[in-house]
């Protein structure tokens, strides 16, 4: 037990030393204005590259992405209709659609789908 504990401590110590050496050797101390500025085909940038974007657009894009993935989950439902039991197929597809519609109505109710207020 003592040997295992000492080997673990030695391994931990060696790992810590290697990480410390790697972090000190990898530090870049030279701050260059050209390297910190955004690249625009070799020219000086005309304006700031850190322009704010619309949070409303980002939310609508995320909602679209989520519903797009859920639509891809709905595609196989039509192809397995003949293979499975009609009652279980109808129950699962209806339940999935109800969950999707409830999510859509909730987003609509919260006002996330409104482009401008």
Extract the residue ranges of the chain whose pLDDT is less than 70.
28-51, 116-117
| CA 111 – CA 75 distance, rounded (Å) | 28
Residue 43: predicted pLDDT: 62
Q: What confidence score (pLDDT) does residue 13 get?
A: 96
Nearest in space to 80 (alpha carbons), one of 98, 92, 97: 92
Whole-prediction pTM: 0.49
- Amino acid 59: pLDDT: 81
Res 35: pLDDT: 67
> Where do the H-state alpha helices sit in the chain?
2-25, 33-36, 55-79, 86-110
Mean pLDDT over each residue of the chain, to the nearest integer: 82
What's the pLDDT at 39? 65
Task: Identify whether the C-beta of residue 38 lies closer than 8 Å to the C-beta of residue 45.
Answer: yes
């Amino acid at each position: 037990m003592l040997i295992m504990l000492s080997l673990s401590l030695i391994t931990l110590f060696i790992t810590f030393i290697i990480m410390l050496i790697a972090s000190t050797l990898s530090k870049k101390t030279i701050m260059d204005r050209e390297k910190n500025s955004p690249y625009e085909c070799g020219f000086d940038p005309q304006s700031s590259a850190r322009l704010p974007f619309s949070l409303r657009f980002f939310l609508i894009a995320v909602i679209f992405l989520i519903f797009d993935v859920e639509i891809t989950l709905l595609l196989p439902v039509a192809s397995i209709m003949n293979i499975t039991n009609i009652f279980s197929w109808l129950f699962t597809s209806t339940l999935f659609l109800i969950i999707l519609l409830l999510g859509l109505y909730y987003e609509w109710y919260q006002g996330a789908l409104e482009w401008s207020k």
